[in-house]
Amino acid sequence: MIAGIARGTPANSAGHPVVGDPQSDWVDARDDVLEALDQPGALQREVGTPWGHLVVDRFVGLVVVDPLLHTFDLAKASGQPALLDEDLAEAGYIQLKKAGDMIRGERFGPEVPIDSDASITDKLISIAGRNP
């Protein structure tokens, strides 16, 4: 989907890839995304996303948060500590903070109140509508 969006294809037109060999398919998908984002003007292009029309740069800033949140979800569901890189957690938190209420709804619930001195991981998790 990200490569398609970078090329101007709206998210609702993106198909889901058929995965045969996950490792090889991941490498191919990564290379496709990097090639698409590297095209002149790709990051400034406005396109339909799950959060409305956004420039690709802003959309990519939001979707990079997904792996962090899913890491937390999987850790919590399996009873393990959620250990996120603090720099990545901070970058994700900043992206979601900039997005504001635009992200609320189907994908993100209301922000969960936490202490102001909470860890950056807890701040990221709470702004995404999850209870740290």
Q: Per residue of the chain (132 residues), what is the pLDDT tens digit?
A: 788 888 888 877 766 777 888 999 889 989 999 999 999 999 999 988 877 788 888 888 777 888 899 999 999 999 999 899 999 999 999 988 888 887 787 678 899 999 999 999 999 999 999 999
How many helices (H) and strands (E) the chain has is answered by 6, 2
Q: What is the pLDDT of residue 50?
A: 77
Q: What is the pLDDT of residue 94?
A: 92
Q: Kindly state the helix (H) or strand (E) to which residue 22 belongs, with its residue range.
A: helix 22-37
Residue 47 DSSP symbol: E
Q: What is the pLDDT of residue 31?
A: 94
Beta strands in the chain (DSSP E): 46-49, 52-55
Q: What is the pLDDT of residue 15?
A: 67
CA distance 45 to 8: 7
C-alpha distance from residue 125 to each of 63, 96, 104, 111, 130 (Å):
15, 10, 14, 9, 5
